[in-house]
Amino acid sequence: MLTWNDVLNFAKAGNLTPDRRVEKTEAEWRAQLNDQQYRVTREAGTERAFSSPMCNLFEPGIYACVCCDTVLFDASEKFDSGTGWPSFTQPVEPNVIAYHLDTSYGTRVETVCSTCDAHLGHVFPDGPKPSGLRYCMNAVALKKVAAH
């Protein structure tokens, strides 16, 4: 189980190696993604809070990166954070997400897909126990790919 100290160590000292890499040109990403998905995932944008019905979906399932299909989260780790964005306590594997210090609004930790570098959102140390993590994700960066 990842902790806040693990996240900070990855952000400062380097991330785990992903199982694979996906790299595309800007034109290829633009052809694959809609405008909002592109703005969020490729330009580190943020969707409007409470704009996605995904915030209120808690049935079993698996969530993957909308850009490269890498499995990122299991719905069993999803919780209602009240923030307006889908929130999870842990990724499915430690190496599917990469972490970068983000000082654009104070100090935060940005989360990106380690396979394709898609901006997903941020992780914070104010989640539920036992990990205490809150992966605050942009819904447009995720797609539900399977039920359990």
Reported as a single tens digit per residue, the pLDDT across 34-83 is 999 999 999 999 999 999 999 888 999 999 999 999 999 999 999 999 99
Quote the pLDDT of residue 148: 54
CATH of domain 4-49+60-146: 2.170.150.20
Q: Which residues are registered as beta bridge partners of 110?
A: 100, 122
C-alpha span between 76 and 79 (Å, rounded): 8
Domain ranges of the chain: 4-49+60-146
Beta bridge partners of residue 63, listed in sequence order: 73, 144
Residue 106 has a pLDDT of: 77
136 is catalytic: yes
**Predicted TM-score of the model (pTM):** 0.95
Could you say which of 55, 65, 68, 136 is catalytic?
136
Q: Find the Cα–Cα–Cα–Cα dihedral 69, 70, 75, 78, rounded to 10°.
A: -110
- The predicted pLDDT at position 104 comes to 78
pLDDT at 98 over 90: yes
| Closest to 72 measured CA to CA, from 58, 52, 53, 89 | 89
pLDDT greater than 80 at residue 16: yes
